[in-house]
A and B are shown apart, each in its own frame.
Chain A
Amino acid sequence: MDLNFTPEEESFRAEVRAFLAAELPADLRDKVNLGRRLRKDDWLRWQKILYRRGWGAGMWPQRYGGAGWSVVQQHIFDEEGAAAGAPPQIPFSLRMVAPVLMTFGNAAQQNYYLPRIISGEDWWCQGYSEPGSGSDLASLRTSAVRQGDRYLVNGQKTWNTLGQYADWIFCLVRTSSEARPQQGISFLLIDMKSPGVSVKPIITIDGEREINDIFFENVEVPVQNLVGEENKGWTYAKFLLGHERTNNAGIGNCKRNLQRLKRIATAQPSNGRPLSEDPRFRERIAQVELELMALEITNLRVLSAEAGAAHAPGPEASILKIKGSEIIQQLAELQMQALGHDALISVPEALELDWSPPRLLADHYPEYAPPLSGQYFNQRKTTIYAGSTEIQKNIIAKLILGL
């Protein structure tokens, strides 16, 4: 048993750290660290900086322009990026549709889409959930009917994250209703500019625009946009879910939030002393810190087993998803709670970097305060999306425990 990173991994960490110090724009860093709004340009700017460094897609194989990192290198990169205040990369493109294209797409699809993803030219979003198909995704009804060299797509996708920015959407569509629901699903790539595609925002619990309904009305999609074989989409979707959960422990993000929580608890007054000296609050921090300590090692155990076996994480990824989502929720909750009654204040314009508080508010509403309540509300999503905690427990019961 050896918990040390290798000298090569340590020097990679140093390289990442130096790169971040030199190349991460200060305004992006401040937005991330202070929880201010990120816009499309912010995400893409960072992707383009990474691309120029050759790190546009760390874990992609080099033949697709990736850096060919090991899982441990990717982990180090994620951890350092989170600590430095780098925005996360757009997962829908890099970690979701791209591995599907590499594994099941044809050469033409790979050659066209992958370079545009890694360079930050195209933004992808995910078309999975529908109003009647959430956890029971295989019941989806958005239809794609073959007409010559085109599919005619009709239906509605929902809970679509950041689709307002997207150039492309990868969709699960129904191409057959004859056999089991899982067997009539296809994986289709749709240009968001196609006539008949409309995007309608859904305002989330924190008042922000993060997700959308997407409607398809007689949208014509060329058949060459089908990935793999018709009616095999469910297999590809399950493959993708395995990749989606790879980083679901979110260790780096949790660590950044833990450090921020400690800083806030040290800065917030409570009976004339720092809140961090209140034993009750201190022990609540300690409790979530312990969960995170354990999860960091559990995550590394999964990663190092994965590195040895050279496969995407199996059902044990469900353990990481469950714990990682619970931890980030607890960290968000404690950060809000640290504010005391300042948590009540709702000032949407305070989420812009150039906002400064009016004089009366300034003496008790520090710059870390504005996003915290909204983040608490927002983070309730983490135990719901990408397979809810309950679905993850079903997966564990079935695939690990054989129940």
Chain B
Amino acid sequence: MDFRYSEEQLALQDTLRRFIARDYDFERRRALARSPLGFSAEAWDQYAELGLLALPLPEQFGGLGGNGVDIMAIMETIGQGLLLEPYLTTVVLCGGLIRDAASEAVRQSILPQIAAGKLKIALAAYEAAGRYDLAHVGCAAAGYGDAWTLSGRKAVVLDAPSADCFLVSARVAGQVAEADGISLFLVPRDAPGLTLFAYPTQSGARAADLQLHDVVVGPDAVIGLPGRALAIVERAVDSAIAALCAEAVGIVSALNEASLNYLKTRKQFGVPIGAFQALQHRMAEMIIAAEQARSMAIIAAVQVDAADAAKRRRAISGAKAYVGQAARFVGQQAVQLHGAMGVIDDIVISHYFKRLTMINMSLGDADFHLGRFSEQSAHAQASTVSL
């Protein structure tokens, strides 16, 4: 049993940290978040050069064949640097989905481009009335000959404004919210009939609502089995959740470090405020929450590659619920310990807190995943709880 990152993982983290220190400090990040693109195109090229974009992709498509723990190592560092680039959506979510579910031809045409930083993809899976239910698909796909016509709307598609194409879930049969009858289509950004309503997110990234009006795609646009795409979308979302848990853990560590430093340096009543027991105990609770959250992120990173879907889902939902609760606690308390310094835009604390909050609100919040975990867990008879 070994809970350490490998030498390679540590080296990758170190490289990314040095990049952040050199090219991506807090002021630079704030400027990028306000820029039209919302992130750094140069940074994206850098990630390609460093091999980060190739990390989870198979070697025969220009990838590095990395696993969930490799992604954990990177996402933790992405969290610490509050990086804005669409790594999660393009590489982990869509890259992972195409890797696991697409035909050889699609993999061949897409994955090397992702690895090289030449192609960005976003997942359009959620709809407004469905909340976090991936099976809630009202967007319709009608077959004409061997082509498909898509019509409907998709809500809050992360990193959509910069995406070159979209993975869109659409219904080919059955009723809204039925698990069966969902297909997944690869839709180019410039497809006639596709409209974007773009906006920034609360944590400085970009997203958009998509409207599809008789968007026509060919038969080669179908990813996975027609009508049976829910499972592949869920699997991809699960890997993105594991990655988000790691990102949250990175932010939680950074916030704890900042809060501890503040307790030691900020003086009131003639002493560092860390001399007060109420604050010492709060800080101790934040450290405990961070260690426990890290343990859950480890479970998610290891189980995300599990072949057994039920086992994987239980670990992922458990981790998302727990990390979400811990992140909320640490985020809120970091703001509290920083006093008014915690609620201003000029200091990184508020930005960390907002990113943690948005992580919690993405891909199913803590309540959603606690519910999903509890449904699977009520009668579980595992001799070992976690693994």
- The answer to whether B295 touches A301 (Cβ under 8 A) is yes
Please indicate which of the listed interface residues B69, B292, B293, B381 has the most CB atoms of chain A within 10 Å of its own CB.
B292
Q: In the assembled complex, how far is the CB of residue A33 from the closest CB belonging to chain B, in whole angstroms?
A: 15
Fill in one digit per residue for B281-302: 1 if any A CB lies within 8 Å of its CB, else 0.
Answer: 1011101100111111011011
Cβ of B87 within 8 Å of any chain A Cβ, yes or no, is no
Query: What residues on B are CB-neighbors of A402 within 8 Å?
Result: 264
Q: Do the beta carbons of A297 and B374 come within 8 Å of each other?
A: no
Across the interface, do B298 and A3 meet the contact criterion of CB distance under 8 Å? Answer: yes
Q: Is A296 an interface residue (CB 8 A)?
A: yes
Contact check, A403 vs B1: say whether CB atoms are below 8 A apart: no
CB of A403 within 8 A of CB of B264, answer yes
- The verdict on B3 contacting chain A, using a C-beta distance below 8 Å, is yes
Is the CB–CB distance between B1 and A304 below 8 Å? yes
B residues less than 8 Å from A379 (CB atoms): none
Bound Cα distance from A262 to B296, whole angstroms: 22
Chain A interface SS verdict (over half): helix
* B1 touching A297, Cβ below 8 Å: no
**Which residues of A have CB within 8 Å of B383?**
83, 255
Q: Are A319 and B291 in contact (CB under 8 A)?
A: yes
Query: B343-376: contact bitstring with A at CB < 8 Å (1 yes, 0 no)?
Result: 0000000000000000000000000001101110
> Are A1 and B379 in contact, with the CB atoms below 8 A?
no
Decide if A47 is an interface residue (CB 8 Å cutoff).
no
The 6 closest A-B pairs by CB, nearest first: A286-B374, A297-B295, A397-B280, A396-B284, A294-B292, A393-B284
Q: Is the CB of A1 within 8 A of B280?
A: no
Give chain B residues whose Cβ lies under 8 Å from the Cβ of A293: 295-296, 299, 318, 322, 385-386
Query: Contacts A72-B1, A262-B378, A304-B2 known; A290 to B318 CB distance under 8 Å?
Result: yes
Instruction: Say which size band chain A's interface belongs to.
Output: 35 or more
- Per the bound structure, the CA–CA distance linking A173 and B221 in Å amounts to 81
**A contact residues around B296 at 8 Å (CB):** 290, 293-294, 297
Q: CB-CB < 8 A to B379: which residues of A?
A: 262, 266, 276
Given A295-B292, A401-B260, are A1 and B69 neighbors across the interface (CB < 8 Å)? Answer: yes
Q: A286-B378, A396-B288 given; name 7 further pairs at CB < 8 Å.
A: A266-B379, A282-B375, A293-B322, A294-B322, A305-B3, A394-B277, A396-B284
CA distance A297 to B293 in the complex (A): 10
Of A6, A294, A322, A403, which one neighbours B295 at CB under 8 angstroms? Answer: A294
By beta carbon, the residue of chain B nearest A278 is B378
Interface status of A136 (Cβ within 8 A of chain B): no
Which residue of B is nearest A280, CB measured?
B374
Interface string of A90-119 (1 = CB under 8 A from B): 000000000000000000000000000000
B387 within 8 A of A: yes
| A266→B380 CA distance, assembly (Å) | 11
Flag whether B6 is at the interface (Cβ < 8 A).
yes
Does B274 touch A at the CB level, under 8 Å?
yes
Query: Which residue in chain B gives the minimum CB-CB distance to A255?
Result: B385
List 14 contacting pairs A-B, 8 Å CB cutoff, sorted by A: A266-B378, A276-B379, A290-B318, A290-B322, A293-B318, A294-B296, A294-B322, A295-B295, A297-B298, A297-B299, A393-B284, A397-B283, A401-B260, A401-B284
**In this assembly, does A279 line the interface, its C-beta being within 8 Å of a C-beta of chain B?**
yes
Most buried by B among A258, A285, A287, A401: A401
Contact of B370 among A4, A286, A294, A300 (CB under 8 A): A286
Q: Mark B312-346, 1 if CB is under 8 A from A, else 0.
A: 00000010011000000000000000000000000
- Whole-angstrom distance from the CB of A130 to the nearest CB of chain B? 24
Query: Does any Cβ of A come within 8 Å of B31's Cβ?
Result: no
Instruction: Give the contacting residue for B378; candidates A277, A390, A392, A403; CB below 8 A.
Output: A277
Q: Which residues of A contact B293 (CB under 8 A)?
A: 294
Q: Are A1 and B295 in contact (CB under 8 A)?
A: no
B283 and A403 form a contact (CB under 8 A): yes
B4 in the interface (beta carbon within 8 A): yes
CA distance A227 to B295 in the complex (A): 40
* Cα-based distance from A4 to B386 in the complex (angstroms): 12
- Provide the residues of chain B in CB contact with A301, threshold 8 Å: 3, 291, 295
- Report chain A residues within 8 Å CB of B299: 293-294, 297
Contact with B along A269-311 (1 / 0, CB 8 A): 0000000110100110111011111111110110011000000
- For A350-374 the 0/1 string (1 means CB < 8 A from B) is 0000000000000000000000000
Q: How far is the CA of A29 from the CA of B280 in the complex (A)?
A: 43
Within the complex, the shortest CB–CB distance from B333 to chain A, in Å, comes to 14
Question: Which B residues touch A185, using CB under 8 A?
Answer: none
Contact A403 B263 (CB under 8 A): yes
B-contact 0/1 string along A119-163, CB 8 Å cutoff: 000000000000000000000000000000000000000000000
A322 to B289, CA, bound (A): 11
Say whether A265 faces chain B, with CB atoms less than 8 Å apart.
yes
Which residues of A sit under 8 angstroms from B385, Cβ to Cβ? 255, 258, 289, 292-293, 296
List, in ascending order, chain B residues with CB within 8 A of A397's CB.
Answer: 277, 280-281, 283-284
Task: Determine whether B5 belongs to the interface, using a CB cutoff of 8 Å to chain A.
Answer: yes
**What is the distance, in angstroms, from A72's C-beta to the closest C-beta of chain B?**
7
Name the distance in Å between B307's Cβ and chain A's nearest Cβ: 15
The closest CB in chain A to the CB of B383 belongs to: A83
Please tell me if B41 contacts chain A, counting CB pairs below 8 Å: no
Smallest CB gap from B273: residue in A: A403
Q: Residue of A at shortest CB range from B70?
A: A1
A69 to chain B, nearest CB (A): 15
Q: Is B377's CB within 8 Å of the partner chain A? A: yes
Q: How far is the CA of A247 from the CA of B205 in the complex (A)?
A: 45
Q: Are B1 and A401 in contact, with the CB atoms below 8 A? A: no
CB distance from B28 to the nearest CB of A (A): 31
CB distance from A168 to the nearest CB of B (A): 36
**Which of A72, A286, A402 has the most chain B CB atoms closer than 10 A to its own CB?**
A286
Q: At the interface, yes or no: A345 with Cβ under 8 Å from chain B?
A: no
Partner of A2, one of B1, B322, B381: B1
Whether B37 sits at the interface, judged by CB under 8 Å, is: no
A residues less than 8 Å from B275 (CB atoms): 403
